[in-house]
Amino acid sequence: MKKMLINAIHTEEVRVVVVEDNLLKELYIESSLKEQLRGNIYKSRITKVEQSLNAAFVDYGREKNGFLPINDINPAFIPGAKTAKDIPGLLKKGMELMVQVSREEKSAKGALLTMNISIPGRYMVLVPRQDLSGISRKIADDEKRKRLKDIMKQLDPPSDMGLIVRTAGMDKNKTELSKDMNYLFRLWKSIEDDYASAAAPGLIYKEGDIVIRSIRDYFTTDISEILIDDEETQKRAAIFFKSLMPRHKKLVKLYKSSKPLFNKYELEQQIQGIYKNKVNLISGGSIIIEQTEAMVVIDVNSGHSTGSKDIEQTAFFTNMEAAKEIARQLILRDLGGLVVIDFIDMRTRDHMRKVEKAIKEGLKSDKAHIQLGRISKFGIMELSRERLSPPLLEKSHVICPTCEGSGLIRSVESASLMALREIHAYINRTRPAKIRVILPHDTAMHLLNRQKQHIIRLEQDYSTDISIYSNHGLKQGQISFENPDEITPE
C-alpha cells in the first residue's frame, strides 16, 4: 500500500516521501539552504551576446548571470523575428527577455535558461507561443494515445498555445482535461500581465512550494493516503485537491500522533542511509556512489555475496540486485547528468541484457528524462538523467571547510615538511632578521619536537631567528608569517 507522507512541521526543511509497505520509494526535500530555481520565470536583460558560444548571458536578478543558448530562444518572443534564423541578428545588449530556468546553478556555473516556456498543470503542460501539442512519450498504450488525441482535437486550443498531456492525465476525461487547460490559460495570462508591468531583472513566476509541486507531479491514484504533520500545510493541500482533484480530497489527512510522522513509518534511518556513499545489498554485495563535478560514478562490488558457487552466476545475481537498487537510488538522491556504472564483469551477453533491462524497469516510474546506454565489454554502462533539482546532498550539506570537499587532509608529517619548504622559500626571498611562523597546533608541535634540527640549520644558513607559534584556528596545511619588529604592541 502506497502512502505520501509530508513532514512540514519545520519550515526550514520540508520533506515529502512516497512509501510502499514502509519502504522508501521517493524522497523530495526543500531546504532553506538551497533555493529551488528550476521552473521559475524571470524578466531578464541581456548583458552580453557571445557569438562564439552561440549564446547570450543574461541578468535575471541572481548573483550569477544565466546562460541562454540561442537555440533555446523562441522567435515568437523576439520582435521582428519570423524564424529562428533571424534571432542572432536581432539580439542586443540591454534587450529584455522572458526566460525560464531549465537547469539549476551549479558551483561556479550560472543557471541554464530557455525561452521555450513550459508550465505544468496537474494533467497537462502548457507551452505558450509554440505550435506544439501532443501526448507524453511515457504513455505507450496506442488506444489511450488515440483517445487523448481525439480529446485534444475537441478541446481545440489556440494555435499559439501548445499543450502536452502528462502521464497523470492518461485516464482523464474531456471535462477534467478541459478544466486543467483553462487553469493553465489563466495562469499564463497572469504571467504575461506581470511581465508587462515588472522591471527587469526580476522574478515573474515561481514554481509552487514543495508540497503543492509534489502533489501535482507525484500523486497517483494508487496512493491510498496523504498524511501531513502540519495543520496549515494540510489546509493548503486540501484546497489544492479541492480545486484540481476534488474526488481525492478525502485522502489528505492531518497526522496528530505525538510520535514523529517519519519515525512511525521507520523512515529516518532509511533517509540517513541516502547520505552515505555506500549502499549494502541483501546478498552481501554493495554499491559505492561518488558524485564528481563532471559525473556520478557508481561501482558495484560483490563483497561477501554467495548467491552461487559459479563466478558468472554470482556476478549476474549481484549485478541484478545492484541494478534495481541503483535505479532506486538515482531517483531518491535525484542524481542527474552523466552517470557511469561499473558492474562486475560478466561474460554472457544474455546476462548483460537482463541487467540493462533491470535498470530500465527500475527507472520506469522516474519523472526525469533518461537516456540509457548498453553495458560495454569492460562492464561499464552509461546513462544520462535529467536534473530535476539540485542533488539531495546540496540541499542539506555544505563543503567541508577543512578538506574543502576533497575528503582528505594532509598528514601532520607531510604538512610539517611543506611548512619547512615554505619557511625556506620565504626566508630566501625576504632575508628577515627575525620571523614568526604561525602554524596549526599539530604541525607546530611536530616541527618543534621532530624537525627542530631543520629549523636550526635554516637559522644558521640565513642568520635569522625563527620562532614557531601554534594557532588552533588554522587548518592543516595553512601557514602565515609575521615580522616581530613590525608588530605594534597592544
Predicted confidence at residue 397, as pLDDT, reads: 75
Predicted confidence at residue 208, as pLDDT, reads: 75
Interhelix angle 452-462/412-430, rounded to 10 degrees, is: 10
Predicted confidence at residue 340, as pLDDT, reads: 97
Could you give the domains of the chain?
A: 2-35+207-268 (3.30.420), 41-114 (2.40.50.140), 119-205 (3.30.230.10), 276-393 (3.40.630), 412-486 (3.40.1260.20)
d(CA 439, CA 416): 9
Predicted confidence at residue 214, as pLDDT, reads: 87
Predicted confidence at residue 311, as pLDDT, reads: 87
Predicted confidence at residue 310, as pLDDT, reads: 82
pTM over 0.85: no
Predicted confidence at residue 486, as pLDDT, reads: 66
Question: Which portions of the chain are predicted below pLDDT 50?
Answer: 490
Predicted confidence at residue 105, as pLDDT, reads: 85
Tens digits of residue pLDDT in 46-55: 999 998 899 9
User: Nearest 5°: phi and psi at 68?
Assistant: -120, 100
d(CA 397, CA 416): 31
Predicted confidence at residue 33, as pLDDT, reads: 66
Predicted confidence at residue 344, as pLDDT, reads: 94
d(CA 421, CA 401): 24
Predicted confidence at residue 371, as pLDDT, reads: 93
Pairing between β-strand 161-165 and β-strand 286-291 as defined by DSSP bridges: unpaired
